[in-house]
Amino acid sequence: MMVGAGSLRSSLLPGWMPSSALRSIGSPKFDALTVTASQLQERLTAGSLTSTDIVEEYISRINEHNGYLKAVYVVAPGVMQQAKALDEKRASGKFLGPLHGIPVLLKVYSEKFAATMN
């Protein structure tokens, strides 16, 4: 199931908000606007951050800004489960490469897709 633009009118992405995002507002674990993939990977390797932490932070930022930006129309189904699985692989000593556990946001513009969102 995909989340469409209609459900983004409330600045939340229903069904995709991690339960830990309901925690009290505190300092983020990293600056989502300036951090690089290399910096995230260093922290993942050091164990000071998990893939789940990263996904939760990015979803939190999407929810914070998407109400007026309207830039993210779809969040991948199962994203939290995928992050947990990657954390488990890392914990068991399996490293899949330099982007292991780093989420990716793709910007795709399609006039056909945009027409369905209005």
Which helix or strand (DSSP H or E) is residue 62 part of?
Answer: helix 51-69
User: What average pLDDT does this structure show over 11-20?
Assistant: 44
Angle between helices 79-91 and 51-69 (to 10 degrees): 160
Burial level of 35, CB count in 10 A (0-12/13-18/19+)?
middle
* pLDDT tens, position by position, 23-35: 445 678 999 989 9
* pLDDT tens, position by position, 60-92: 998 888 888 888 878 888 999 999 999 999 999
| Side-chain half-sphere CA neighbours of 99 within 13 A | 3
Task: Give the integer Cα–Cα distance in Å for 59 and 14.
Answer: 11
Sign of CA dihedral 26, 22, 81, 12: negative
Q: What is the mean pLDDT of the chain?
A: 79
Reply yes or no on whether the pLDDT at 55 is more than 60.
yes
